[in-house]
Chain A
Amino acid sequence: DQQVKQNSPSLSVQEGRISILNCDYTNSMFDYFLWYKKYPAEGPTFLISISSIKDKNEDGRFTVFLNKSAKHLSLHIVPSQPGDSAVYFCAASEDGGSQGNLIFGKGTKLSVKP
């Protein structure tokens, strides 16, 4: 059973507009969440993270929002740029739990059109 779900396989956005990537999770013990970005033929690179004690974390054009009651997080990219075109993976972990690893979603492919 998937514990981290990214229900949109792809998203297309116009340059300059906002990109919103969504992620849902089922394990209420997850307390740390991350977003990774992956270009073709490269390894994933860490983008931004958020602890469950927060509901928002911002880093430049990237903001992650966490809604614990809904078990939902989202990544906002404002403004979107063509260089943001990549696959974005959501990941979650449980601090000190039996699952001391990252659990990844299946990814969302973002295309930013000039």
Chain B
Amino acid sequence: NAGVTQTPKFQVLKTGQSMTLQCAQDMNHEYMSWYRQDPGMGLRLIHYSVGAGITDQGEVPNGYNVSRSTTEDFPLRLLSAAPSQTSVYFCASSLTGDREQYFGPGTRLTVT
């Protein structure tokens, strides 16, 4: 039982490049979410999903896309990276979004 896994751990992008951050969970959780953590800003919700085929926007969705084709996977796509997207990204999963969420180890993204 690996819990929540994220790849890659580190990534450097140039402005305008695109990439996908991968997230997978093996706990059969319906709810999955993406957060970004910036210094002094805490954890801010980007997008979330309450089940396969269902996604919705969080607090800071601009510049990010998500899809949920399976229960296990919830990738986060940056279509055209900007320096403002330099951050640490965490994926989380839970049975329901309003209770204990289990976090992955994070992806540290730098956009130059």
Name B1-43 residues within 8 Å CB distance of A: 4, 33, 35, 40-43
Are A43 and B41 CB-contacts (below 8 A) given A32-B99, A101-B97, A102-B98? Answer: no
Contact with B along A72-114 (1 / 0, CB 8 A): 0000000000000000010001111100111011110000000
Q: Does B74 contact A (CB under 8 A)?
A: no
**A9 surroundings in chain B (CB, below 8 A):** 40
**How far, in whole Å, are A43 and B2 apart by their CA atoms in the complex?**
14
Docked complex: B43-81 residues within 8 A CB-CB of A: 43-45, 48, 50, 58
Chain B, interface residues (CB within 8 Å), range: 20 to 34
Does A57 touch B at the CB level, under 8 Å? Answer: no
Kindly state the interface size class of chain A when it binds its partner. 20 to 34
Q: Is the CB of B43 within 8 A of A100?
A: no
**Interface status of A59 (Cβ within 8 A of chain B):** no
Is A101 touching B98 in the complex (CB atoms < 8 A)?
yes
The number of residue pairs between A and B whose CB atoms lie closer than 8 Å in the complex comes to 58
Question: Given A9-B40, A104-B42, are A42 and B106 also a contact pair (CB < 8 Å)?
Answer: yes
Are A42 and B105 neighbours in the complex by a CB distance under 8 Å? yes
Cβ of A93 and Cβ of B99 under 8 Å apart? yes
| Other-chain contact of B48, A101, A104, A105, A107 (Cβ < 8 Å) | A101
Cα distance, A46 to B43, chains bound together (Å): 14
Q: Are B97 and A43 in contact (CB under 8 A)?
A: no
Q: In the complex, are the beta carbons of A104 and B43 less than 8 A apart?
A: yes
19 residue pairs of the A-B complex, CB under 8 angstroms, read A6-B42, A9-B40, A32-B98, A41-B105, A42-B106, A43-B4, A43-B90, A43-B92, A43-B103, A44-B43, A45-B103, A46-B101, A96-B98, A97-B98, A100-B50, A100-B98, A101-B45, A106-B40, A106-B42
